[in-house]
Structure 1
Amino acid sequence: MTRLILDNLCSVIVDCAHKTAPLDEFGGYFAVGTPAMRGNVIDYSEARRISKSTFDDWTARLRPRVGDLLLAREAPVGPVVRIPPAENVAPGQRTVLLRPNPSVVDSRFLYYYLISPERQRELLAKASGSTVPHLNVADVRIFPMSGVPHLSKQHAIADVLGAFDDKIAANKHAIASARELSDVRFRRALQSYPARRTTLGELVDHGVLGLGDGYRTKRSEHGTPGPRILRAADVRDFRIFPDGAEYVSNDYRTRIGAKVSRSGDIVLTTKGTVGRVAIVPARMEEVVYSPQTCYFRIFKEDVVDFGYLAAWFNSRDLADQLAIVMHKSDMAPYVNLQDIRSLRAPLPEISVQRDEGSFQRSAIESIHALSSENDALAGARDELLPLLLAGRIGVRDAEKVVEEVV
């Protein structure tokens, strides 16, 4: 194995345009910046839709193609995504486009190598020491690529690790299908049964529902041990991904009060990308809600069924109401507590809610189970890579592990 740097493995490394791509709500292309790269997959709801002409301008230096990788070099440092088959993605701000040289590196292997926990730690360490941690393009070029094996072994490793991603993708498809079926059923339920509209504020005033925005932490309150701060960016795909680096010290727990997560809380994002919804699953680590989020807790399930209300939060009915109140100015979209209290939920008889809610609960449990399986699969994938690189496990043995797990 030869000591290498990233520049040795890429035909081209190109920086992004240092300006914001103009938005085109009907554009068929996307400028993918660092907010759209969390979890090492493209989140198109966080990407900017752009026109064909803007896409051409933003990709004039190098037109992205399948096999290319996009690396985030700031806010946060480290996420990597693959250019999709549609080839409709342009580098957004604070990213670097990598074109792996197929004569020396397998693009799939390079992706897994860069997203591995060890490489991510190295990227963050290289970026530390500045006010806002970031990597320059020069830093990216000279990033050390220790332990990269010969090309044939790269292909074999990529095949093994790709099997995990194939299963993860299948589970994500099942999750999307479950959410779509849940939405269809809920819309039919709304059409089939008469329901009075009740504002969330009325439910709060009658002790049926609890809601609140997040805790506004002071820098002096940060510290460990204590719960992690949950940001709006951590809520996506009907799930919560608590991976931020800021915590509130347990010394201030009494100040936080009810703004600490509980199993079964419904969480809504209220700033930036308004309207993302997730349910706090059992056994999730405790988090403190930030002011970018709002939480909801049912206190009287003889009035409002949890499964029914969770489905409403994930419905077009709520999304349409949020779309009306979120645009107050030229600032980024947001909703405040007054807006949230004014939202009107359709509440049929409790027997109807429970009938529909039973199905919705089962769907939520299925989604959480599949999501937990995906977390385990990703963890197993990331654990295998260093073992394969170090020769502590052979490719054939790794294939047997994949067969058992997948």
Structure 2
Amino acid sequence: MGGVNTQSPARRVSARLGALQESATLAVDAKAKALKAAGRPVIGFGAGEPDFPTPDHIVEAAVKAARIPANHRYSPAKGQPALREAIVAKTLADSGVEVDPNNVLVTNGGKQAVFQSFAALVDEGDEVLLPAPYWTTYPEAIRLAGGVPVEVFAGADQEYKVTVEQLEAARTDRTKVLLFCSPSNPTGALYSKEQTRAIGEWALEHGIWIITDEIYEHLVYDGLDNSYILREVPELANQTLVLNGVAKTYAMTGWRVGWMYGPSDIIKAATNMQSHLTSNVANVCQAAALEALTGDQSSVAEFREAFDRRRKLIVAELRKVNGFEVPNPQGAFYAYPSVEKVLGREIAGRTPTTSSELAEIILEEAEVAVVPGEAFGPSGFLRLSYAMADEDILEGVGRIQKLLA
């Protein structure tokens, strides 16, 4: 055969990577940008990132750091000591949780913290309780680690928040981890202190690990406070990994700086993995993150105020859409309407039966990009990010209102 590759296509890619799905949110955002570039007046509600530029003082810290030759070299895989100390101080100030800087690992964005957390905890066949709707990356990370995601669904009638009773019903002798994300991507749901405490005490009772994603901690509205699970149940410290980063709070999604902290043995295992995978996070980006955490914090309140205004606007407008049910999001920058009453109706000559089909019709007929619920769990929902200008929110939702009138 003279060197001809006779392997079947199925064997060319490993089963684990072959099973990974493309990030649906990034795919929708890319499609919207491509249509815009082709001259279509598309309004994209897909991307989960602030539309503000990174504050100037943070950018200037990076510029200054780029001129220091030491930053042109490798640095500790775990992260620069000064940044880890700043993360410890920030954690204590925000949540009241005391952390040893040796138990902090700086990662290449929050996503690396997610993957390393599951890789460090999950063995083949271990079950991970995954409250749904969930961020699209969680189940992929669980499966890549050999784990089994077990979806626990809470609908709009529960404001997308699972109960202890639901978690207990899903628990088996193979359950090892619970993923807890509040405020939530994709729903904007915020668990109360009482709800958080109840879930934490349940996990403690049954020896279940918690991976808690706190990336949206500062984007909380209606005069509420974020409920940190380790503040509510400090006894969980030896079975909890906390994930966070600068991306959402400081409009730094592209800088790729996240972190994780938890028990020393787990952090050591994750650090070993990162030492082989990526080594250190870019030193210039670490310098920017250090300035973000220790410098002027006025932008945090400014961003939150702008998001709050947009939140109220998009919820009010979405509630005018015929057939949409819109719980009030109390955190992050997403609205997550239930569209089940729209499915089965004829729209522009077509009859969608899933939220994926509905999203396709909205994009083609109204030139508005939204992410369908299938990306985050069950069909019947749409996610709209309101990290965009007020006029774009009005125009985009206005087009949906007109299409579905």
- TM-score, structure 2 as length reference: 0.31
- TM-score, structure 1 as length reference: 0.31
Query: Whose radius of gyration is greater, 1 or 2?
Result: 1
Higher relative contact order (CA 8 A, sep 6+): 2
